[in-house]
Structure 1
Amino acid sequence: MPSTFLYGANVAANGIRQHYLRYGGASGARAARAAVIVIPGITSPAITWGFVGEVFGAAFDTYVIDVRGRGLSEASDTLDYSLDAQADDIVALAAVLGLERYALVGHSMGARIAARAALRASRGLASVVLVDPPVSGPGRREYPGKLPWYVDSMALARKGTDAEGMRAFCPTWTDDELRLRAEWLHTCDERAVLASYEGFHTDDFHADAAQLKVPSLLVTAARGDVVRDEDVAELQRATPAMQHVRVPDAGHMIPWDNAAGFYAAFGSLLGAPLVVEATENAVA
């Protein structure tokens, strides 16, 4: 499949520098469809979702973002890393980019950001896709991913490491995936990650998801313990119109484990199917 990557860019939005990678553009059939903003997870710079951006870019004007404190977006010891700030970033970015209609596709932490952003978007939001969101929160079970996994791997990356250094943390990943993580993990600000991880247990994702007013899709992994069947049932009781697809043969990092199943899960929700001729995986 020919590359759909166009460029990377920075904009000033919501009072900070936000960096994104653009795929596809607004030409041809894409011009009639809502743009797509992809929001990665807690330690996933935009570039690690580039292989997903390539596929989305074939059908949609696609923007893969660096969440504040990750990748090339702004980070500092005074920056607000709360879920509210992250959600406001998305709404402000869409406005600065002049997107008249757009969909949000968020993975893990990015799904929680997407759900909160949907409550703050006054115009233009067409749909929301929540990919394996942490359902932890006040009075709920803890998020199954443990904090030392993030902190220790980031510390190693800041010192300088390679694929072999990352292998202890991600033993099933390919050499290419490990190399990319080793190259980019140091750009994840520990303060941002700690704040987001704490938010997994203090922010009420279920309350946000229950207030979605646009078409929504929940995509979950068949393996792992992030979203259980009872969680799906609760979310769909609160939002009966929410569609759900459980992707087989996949853990939390769904597009890495089962790319075909991940893309097929979207169906026609976004306005066109995601067609995969050939993909090359990176890593998150």
Structure 2
Amino acid sequence: MPDSNPLTFVCLHYWAGAGHEFQAIADLLTPEYRLVSPNLGGFGGAPGPLGGYSVDAYADEVAAFIQTQGLHRYVLVGHSMGGKIALALAARQPKGLRGLVLLSPSPPSPEPMTDEDRKASQQAWGQRIRAEKTQQKITARSLPEPVQQRIVEDNLSSSKAAWDAWLLHGSRENLAARMCEVRVPCAIVAGDQDAVMSPSVHGLETLPLLPEGTPLEIVPGAGHLLPYEAPEEVAALLRAFAEKIH
């Protein structure tokens, strides 16, 4: 297909989230750009990936989704856990990939998390009070009540298998040696009030492994959930990224 075909953003959500976190961004980008955002296996009511819950199994799942969608020109947009999955897929240099945008990404190296925090997160599965506290912790900007409730419900709809697999295995995987194979234009976007992963984590763990000249864009006053907290800023950055690679 020729490059005149519309560019599609393939957006991968955060751990314990769901694809609809990108809806506001999709609305802002239409009609110039299409945005698709599948529920990753074990989240948002989706069945687990056929190959298990490794980062590569998720990358396989996304690659199959892209094929079924018939996409020939697309940018991967990975948020948090989705960022690590996007990095794994981009390192395969799939046909049609034009760029990679990482929103508060889990780094290609093992995610910085203490054993104590990991255990606490494991024990929080399925607990509404803990889900509500998590929502408050990982966001910095004020969100409408329905959005807050959506974040909580997505957390509670996560399967135990997917929940534990990311905490115990996926977040600990080390993909750093593969990052030299990422050869498309990239960008990282982070909130300066992110209580999960500060911008310094991205600057130290991810940025040095990406192509030279990759920018690290900072969104002031935003926490970890950029698609919910800063849809206008993210949409503007995606639009500028698309125009640059075009």
Pick the TM interval, shorter chain.
Answer: 0.7 to 0.9
Once the two structures are TM-superposed, the CA of residue 271 in structure 1 deviates from its matched residue by: 3.1
Cα 1:110–1:187 shift into 2, 3 Å: same
Cα 1:130–1:210 shift into 2, 3 Å: farther
1:87-106 pair list within 5 angstroms: 87-106=59-78
Once the two structures are TM-superposed, the CA of residue 185 in structure 1 deviates from its matched residue by: 3.2
Higher helix content, 1 or 2: 2
Matched with 2:106 is 134
The 8 Å contact of residues 135 and 151 in structure 2, kept in 1 or not, is answered as no
Matched with 1:190 is 160
TM-score, length of structure 1 as denominator length: 0.70
The 8 Å contact of residues 35 and 61 in structure 1, kept in 2 or not, is answered as yes
Matched, 1:70 2:43: yes
The 8 Å contact of residues 12 and 82 in structure 2, kept in 1 or not, is answered as yes
Letter in 2 for 1:185: N
Count of equivalent residues: 236
1:175 to 145, 152, 157: 145
Worse overlay, 86-95 or 108-117: 86-95
Alignment gaps of 5+ in structure 1: 1-30, 158-163, 273-284
**Deviations 1:44-101, CA, capped at 9 Å, x for gaps:** 112333223322343312111100111232238x860110100111111111211111
Matched, 1:202 2:172: yes
Higher strand content, 1 or 2: 1
Once the two structures are TM-superposed, the CA of residue 108 in structure 1 deviates from its matched residue by: 0.1
Once the two structures are TM-superposed, the CA of residue 166 in structure 1 deviates from its matched residue by: 4.8
Q: 1:50 & 1:168 partners in 2: Cα distance?
A: 24
The 8 Å contact of residues 12 and 83 in structure 2, kept in 1 or not, is answered as yes
The 8 Å contact of residues 136 and 142 in structure 1, kept in 2 or not, is answered as no
Matched with 1:119 is 91
Runs of 4+ in 1 over 6 A off after TM superposition: none
The 8 Å contact of residues 40 and 58 in structure 2, kept in 1 or not, is answered as yes
The 8 Å contact of residues 24 and 231 in structure 2, kept in 1 or not, is answered as no
Matched with 1:156 is 127
TM-score, length of structure 2 as denominator length: 0.80
Letter in 1 for 2:177: A
Bigger relative contact order, structure 1 or 2, given CA contacts below 8 A and separation 6+? 2
- Of all paired residues, the percent bearing the same amino acid is 19
Cα 1:143–1:253 shift into 2, 3 Å: farther
Alignment gaps of 5+ in structure 2: 137-141
Compare CA radii of gyration and give the structure with the larger one: 1
**Deviations 1:237-275, CA, capped at 9 Å, x for gaps:** 432132221111111112333333333333521238xxx
